[in-house]
């Protein structure tokens, strides 16, 4: 196979063959310009390989291939599409260990996190496979003179632009519902983390998907991403990333009038009441902010802890501090590592910038606050406490392992503070009182509320944001609505003559 490079994982010293070409029409090909870009590992900052760089001309080739494939794919029986999605899930499960290692090498996340991601990838594809033959319309009763009904049809070529924090999970969240509903896909992975997506393209071909149904073209946002947004044959764009970039995506997509779904930033509140299960809650707080190095759009980075009883509040803080300081941070391939490296040098510097702001504004530091080592992008899990509601660290998304703790004394107070944000993606409530949990959940302005858990995803449960956190939903039956359009059919019925 052309455009392949042998890569070796650190510490475990295991090698594999990494595709480096653009995946168009079931083949790995060179970019038309001949340009490539470098991919490095955040674990040690070392160069991994050069990947072909897609630009506007390559986008057109991929879109044309997808459009040609769509003509037949949209007519393919749902049961056949289901077989192919299930086969892809089987192949990913077969190669799960290797794919987890590729994800950690390229992204920097711990193997624990990568392995978790692969579980969601597999379950998402299987859930979507189950929907392939369930795309129903409805009969509309409009009287005896007409027969009226609706049917849901695919849109056509769907563009997807995915981020670097969850490369494979976002791949599955985009292609799963698109293919299940009879669409075809041109996907641009983040240029910082294209390797796992390209490797899975081998499995797409092995599974037997027709050429052109899935196309993956790494490149820059400006050269490749904008070309997807502007292409007239692309009828829908699914984007996951920051709110600021999402605003641009929406504006650019409007130039050719296409459906847009956006899963954007967050600054999610995680609320702790005194009647919670302390041990379980502390683990949920850790999962909420330090899983994936805090590079999670719905990270529970605003932790509100009840302080009606100062003694309980201070005791909880110390237990939380002790648990955080037990977390192992380091190279993803080291045994027992919970938090790996930050994924990109820019994000690494951004996290350190916010920590420095916290220190300069005299916020109280509970734990952490430093870089680890001098090689690789490692940051101590960091918690500031007794932080004001109007602090920059309370209001702005940091996207790293940095949490702020804010005390509260009443339910109405914490609801007001929790909703005091331009974001509305995730939220958490920790209490043994189900009445309190439901009362608070009903009043939180967020697309997801986790009760006595956090970052707890399921393929059947929709995920998406309120306010500046996005439009549309990933997963669940709600995701399929974004990949279909409704056709109404109305037939006049003549009175039969015998």
**Token pair 């168009």: residue:** 24
Residue 263: active-site member:
yes
Contact 357, 392 (CB under 8 A): yes
- Which helix or strand (DSSP H or E) is residue 158 part of? strand 157-161
Identify the CA nearest to 291 among candidates 323, 338, 334.
338
User: Of 55, 263, 397, 474, which is the active-site residue?
Assistant: 263
Give the alpha-carbon dihedral of 344, 347, 353, 354, to 10 degrees: -140
Query: What are the tokens at 406?
Result: 């804010």
Identify the CA nearest to 479 among candidates 488, 470, 490, 492.
470
d(CA 332, CA 328): 10
d(CA 385, CA 388): 9
Identify the CA nearest to 193 among candidates 86, 94, 114, 246.
114
Q: What is the DSSP letter of 361?
A: T
E strand intervals along 10-68 = 15-19, 22-24, 27-29, 36-40, 47-52
Catalytic residues: 263
């Amino acid at each position: 196979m052309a455009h392949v490079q042998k890569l070796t994982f650190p510490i475990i010293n295991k090698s594999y063959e990494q595709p480096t070409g653009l995946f168009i029409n079931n083949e790995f090909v060179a970019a038309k310009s001949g340009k490539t870009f470098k991919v490095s590992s955040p674990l040690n900052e070392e160069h991994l390989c050069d990947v072909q760089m897609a630009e506007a001309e390559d986008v057109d080739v991929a879109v044309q291939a997808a459009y040609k494939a769509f003509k037949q794919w949209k007519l393919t029986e749902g049961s056949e599409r289901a077989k192919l999605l299930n086969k892809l899930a089987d192949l990913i499960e077969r190669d799960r260990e290797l794919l987890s290692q590729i994800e950690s090498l390229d992204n920097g996340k711990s193997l624990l996190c990568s392995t978790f991601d692969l579980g969601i990838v597999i379950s998402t594809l299987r859930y979507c496979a189950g929907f392939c033959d369930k795309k129903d319309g409805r009969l509309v009763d409009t009287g005896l003179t007409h027969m009226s009904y609706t049917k849901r049809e695919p849109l056509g070529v769907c563009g997807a632009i995915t981020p670097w924090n969850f490369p494979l999970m976002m791949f599955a969240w985009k292609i799963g519902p698109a293919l299940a509903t009879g669409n075809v896909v041109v996907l641009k992975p983040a240029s910082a983390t294209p390797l796992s997506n390209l490797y899975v393209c081998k499995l797409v071909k092995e599974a037997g998907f027709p050429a052109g149904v899935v196309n993956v073209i790494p490149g820059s946002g400006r050269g490749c991403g904008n070309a997807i947004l502007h292409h007239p044959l692309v009828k829908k764009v699914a984007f996951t990333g920051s709110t600021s970039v999402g605003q641009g995506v929406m504006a650019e997509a409007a130039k050719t009038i296409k459906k847009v779904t956006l899963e954007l930033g967050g600054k999610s509140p995680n609320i702790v009441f005194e009647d919670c299960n302390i041990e379980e809650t502390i683990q949920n707080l850790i999962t909420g902010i330090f899983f994936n190095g805090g590079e999670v759009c719905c990270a529970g980075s605003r932790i509100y802890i009840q302080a009606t009883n100062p003694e309980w509040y201070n005791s909880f803080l110390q237990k939380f501090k002790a648990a955080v300081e037990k977390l192992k941070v380091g190279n993803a391939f080291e045994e027992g590592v919970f938090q790996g490296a930050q994924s990109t040098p820019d994000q690494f510097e951004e996290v350190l910038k916010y920590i420095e702001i916290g220190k300069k504004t005299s916020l109280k530091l509970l734990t952490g606050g430093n870089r680890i080592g001098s090689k690789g992008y490692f940051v101590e899990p960091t918690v500031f406490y007794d932080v004001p509601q109007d602090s920059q660290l309370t209001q702005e998304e940091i996207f790293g392992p940095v949490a702020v703790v804010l005390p509260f004394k009443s339910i109405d107070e914490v609801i007001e503070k929790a909703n005091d944000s331009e974001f509305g993606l995730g939220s958490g409530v920790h209490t043994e009182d189900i009445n309190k949990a439901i009362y608070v959940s009903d009043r939180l302005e967020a697309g997801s509320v986790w009760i006595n858990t956090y970052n707890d995803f399921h393929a059947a449960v929709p995920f998406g944001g309120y306010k500046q956190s996005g439009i549309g939903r990933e997963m669940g039956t709600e995701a399929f609505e974004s990949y279909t359009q409704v056709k109404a059919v109305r037939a006049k019925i003549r009175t039969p003559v015998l």
